[in-house]
Structures are given as structure tokens and as C-alpha cells.
Structure 1
């Protein structure tokens, strides 16, 4: 079975989820200095080497009207650093529309009655889980 890793990229965090089937599991949140993607990629790369993977699914934050903007540029900059550092090959990357995943993640955690502190700690990895599940559902 293929192993997939889902990412929800922020300016200071990377939410990470993994899957070896149809369900994904939130794994961790990687923290780095704001907009220091080199540091983020180094930290992510050690996770990727430890876990192994076939596909890296990264949230692509389009605007609600489908256009791209500053957040998509940020993701592309991050991907460029990953490729330069050889953390991943271009053919391993899948970009997935992530509109509303952070909001859905927050709603899931509220429904699960998690404290605000737990919600803040886990929102990025839960969003990564939703991004990864979006991809998994598209390939069924």
C-alpha cells in the first residue's frame, strides 16, 4: 500500500498527517521561524526520511473564487525550497485545493469538545488530515 503525507503549510507551521490507505492520521505540527522555509524544510525533511513516503500532498490555498494569490505563492516558494534541498522530487508532489479545511478542522475540534489550547495545538495537523483525505477520496 502506498504511503502518503499531507501538509498544511502556514507562515510559521507545517501541519503533518500520514496515510497508508483511505484514512489519514494527524501526526505533528512542525514549527519554524516565520517565513523561514529553509528551516521548515530541514525539519520536515528529517520527518520525511524517518517516515518514508511515495506522495506528498500539499494544501493549495486558492481564494474562494478559485483565483490564486499570496498564500499560493507562499506554497510555491516552499515547494521550490523542498526541491532545492532535495527533500522531495517534483513528481512526488500533489497540490490539493484546501479551501475551507482550516475552518472544517476548527469545527471538528469544537464538536469534539477540545479546549481552546488543544484546538490551537492541533489545528494545523487536523487541517493536514483533511487535505490528505481530500486527495485520497479523489483517487478512489
Structure 2
């Protein structure tokens, strides 16, 4: 068992980036791939990871539009949150939604600055986005 205090999730239509933290330093954990828009498959693959990590809080990237309104991707995130709570993987009060505007763009910018190849960027963008989401939460929580 790898008990952590926080898990950050960057939820997509076919991947979930995961990052972890004890409260100060955030580390990339892994990316889970699932069948596109098959959120039951997503939950089935995410559940063992969350059970192993046993986080106190799950920080989820909330994909607002640039103008602050809620777009269609919010429905996907809300559905995944619903499945997590419906299947008793976690309680709703253990999930914190964080505005994730620009995290994917920031992740790409960081990787380009670090001269990471396009192939590696594709592999790492989801965990880096999850890392940025979790770092945003930790920076603003206290």
C-alpha cells in the first residue's frame, strides 16, 4: 500500500494522468489508457490505483472554458466523479475540483523548453498536467 495524502487527476476522453503528493512535493505517478469515452473502463482501471494509493483527497482538473463558463468536457468530468462516488471508490467530500485552464498548454510548454521529443511529450503530458493540477491546489489551499 502506498498511502498518499493527495492524488491529482487529469481526466480525458481516453486517458487519465495521475500525480501524487504527501503535501509538499508533487510527483508524476502514471497515465492510464482506456477505451475512448468508455468511462466504466476508465473507472475499472483507475479503481485499483486509488485503492493502492488510499488518498485523503482527490484533486480533479475541472475543464472550464477560457471565459470561465462550463463546457461540454465538464459533463465528462462530472460523470467520472459520479462513477467514483456511486461505486464507493471515494466520497464526494474527498474530491476537490480545480480549474485546469491552461494546464495542458503549460505542460506542453515545459516539455518543449526541456527539449523533450514529441513522442515523449505524448507519453508524459497527462501525468505532467495532473502534476500541475495538484501543484495548483497545494499552492492555493493554505
- TM-score bracket for the superposition, by shorter chain length: over 0.9
Tell me how far apart the structure 2 counterparts of residues 47 and 74 of structure 1 sit (CA, whole Å): 20
For residues 10-89 of structure 1, what are the structure 2 equivalents within 5 Å? Answer: 10-89=12-91
Distance 1:106 1:87 in 2: 31
- TM-score (normalised: structure 1): 0.97
CA drift at 1:45: 0.8
CA RMSD of aligned residues (A): 1.2
* Residues 107-122 of structure 1: pairs in structure 2 closer than 5 A: 107-122=109-124
Q: CA deviation at 1:74?
A: 0.8
With the length of structure 2 as denominator, give the TM-score of the two structures: 0.95
| CA-CA distance at 1:86 after TM superposition | 1.1
1:62/1:68 contact within 8 Å kept: yes
Q: CA deviation at 1:51?
A: 1.3
**What runs of 5+ residues in structure 2 fail to find an aligned partner?**
none
The 1-side partners of 2:99 and 2:50 are apart by: 22
Q: Shift in Å at residue 139 of structure 1?
A: 1.2
Q: 1:39 Cα deviation (Å)?
A: 1.0
Q: Quote the Cα distance in structure 2 between the aligned partners of 1:24 and 1:73.
A: 27
Is there any run of 5+ residues in structure 1 with no aligned partner, and where? Answer: none
CA distance in 1, matches of 2:86, 2:54: 19
Runs of 4+ deviating beyond 4 Å: none
Q: Write the distance in 2 (CA, Å) between the matches of 1:33 and 1:84.
A: 20
Indicate the SS of the match to 1:131: helix
